[in-house]
Amino acid sequence: MSSERTFEVILSRRAEKYYQKLSLNMARRIDKCLKDLEESPLRGPHIRPLHGKLKGYHSYEMGGIRIVYRVDTKALMVYVSEIRGRGDVYKR
């Protein structure tokens, strides 16, 4: 019996729109990343805390794509604000 907490992942409207435009192969890769975030949103080899005006957010790095999100550990929620290419995601 596992005592692991599972987080619920919620996509913003902007992240959902980007996700829907992805190829099937890329969408499957993003699905795996989102599954990883359900299990451990704060630690992992592809996860980095962000700084500056994005302090409080984290980034999940997958190739040239970044998933930017914040975590509510009390409510066990992960709020994904952006899924974009590496060069575009931090410009907003």
Is there a domain that residue 64 lies in? yes
Is there a domain that residue 53 lies in? yes
pLDDT at 42: 94
Distances, alpha carbon 50 to alpha carbons 20, 25, 26, 55, in Å: 25, 27, 24, 5
pLDDT at 35: 95
Q: How far is residue 19's CA from residue 13's CA, in Å, rounded to a whole number?
A: 10
Q: How many structural domains does the chain have?
A: 1
Model pLDDT for residues 11-34, shown as the tens digit of each residue: 999 999 999 999 999 999 999 999
Is there a domain that residue 1 lies in? no
User: Quick one: pLDDT band at residue 92, thresholds 50, 70, 90?
Assistant: low
Residue 36 belongs to what domain range? 8-89
The domain that holds 39 is classified in CATH as: 3.30.2310.20
Model pLDDT for residues 36-86, shown as the tens digit of each residue: 999 999 999 999 999 998 999 999 998 889 999 999 999 999 999 999 988
Is there a domain that residue 54 lies in? yes
Is there a domain that residue 47 lies in? yes
Q: How far is residue 53's CA from residue 28's CA, in Å, rounded to a whole number?
A: 30
Q: How far is residue 36's CA from residue 40's CA, in Å, rounded to a whole number?
A: 6
